[in-house]
Amino acid sequence: MLEQPMIEKLLAMRLHGMADALKAQEQDQAMRELSFLERLAMLVDQQWNWRENQALQRRLKAAKLRGNTCVEDIDYRAARGLDKSVIRALTQESSWVANHENIFVLGPTGVGKSYIASALAQKACRDGYTVLSTRAAALFRDLNLARADGSLRSLLARLARIDVLVIDDWALAPFTETERRDFWEICEDRYQTRSLILTSQLPVSKWHEQLGDPTLADGILDRIVHNAHRIELRGESMRKTRGKPER
């Protein structure tokens, strides 16, 4: 019978996965037929899996993704121009993050831009990358608050360390001078080192006009457009179509 002090020592060392696996082995008579090294390997695997699951839960909590989204649940039946092969290529070990590429999810309201962006970000979390999701208005509000209390550089540095920054409803309204300069800082910090996911109701051709200042607009778009994958959606709002009664 497994002695309780051994379990307590494993828990004290935060080897929770190994402790659980050891209890399970002790209760399974078939385990007694395995060699010491085989049983030890199973304990190590269980501890490894436990730590990986804990790290994933921390990344998902910090990501602040909207709703329970995952790429496996994306609906390809709706007529919105979504190419399954494109999503499959992007989710292959989230190689776009490793290559420091960006993703633009574009289309009218209600076609599922936010869901697709969150699903791709959630897959990046599962592949070991850090993520933060926010709406554009909330991001600029946080930057303004940080500027007011003197923590702007600290916030920008924290954003620069995140592997995937998801910004929803980007370029929905014309940028102010402060917003342009703040976003320039974000793009400069992340250029060729991190990735962005932007969702927008406007096509990329309209972004320059929304940014306003030609010099800053050129600099920002030069850093985010040329290494970006575009997912362009179309069609009627899925909220409307799903809300219609069956005939």
Q: List pLDDT tens digits, range 80-107.
A: 888 889 999 999 889 999 999 999 999 9
**pLDDT (tens digit per residue) in 162-198:** 999 999 999 999 999 999 999 999 999 999 999 999 9
- What stretch of H or E contains 122? helix 113-126
| Sheet-wide strand order for 228-232 | 131-135, 164-168, 195-200, 102-106, 228-232
CATH 3.40.50.300 segments of the chain? 64-243
- Does the pLDDT at position 211 exceed 60? yes
For domain 64-243, the CATH architecture is 3-Layer(aba) Sandwich (3.40)
* pLDDT band (50, 70, 90) for residue 240: low
In the chain the first and final C-alpha atoms are separated, in Å, by 66
Query: Whole-prediction pTM value?
Result: 0.81
- Does the pLDDT at position 245 exceed 50? no
Q: Is 39 helix (H, G, I), strand (E, B) or coil?
A: helix
Work out the angle at residue 110's Cα, subtended by the Cα atoms of residues 104 and 112, and round it to the nearest 5 degrees: 50
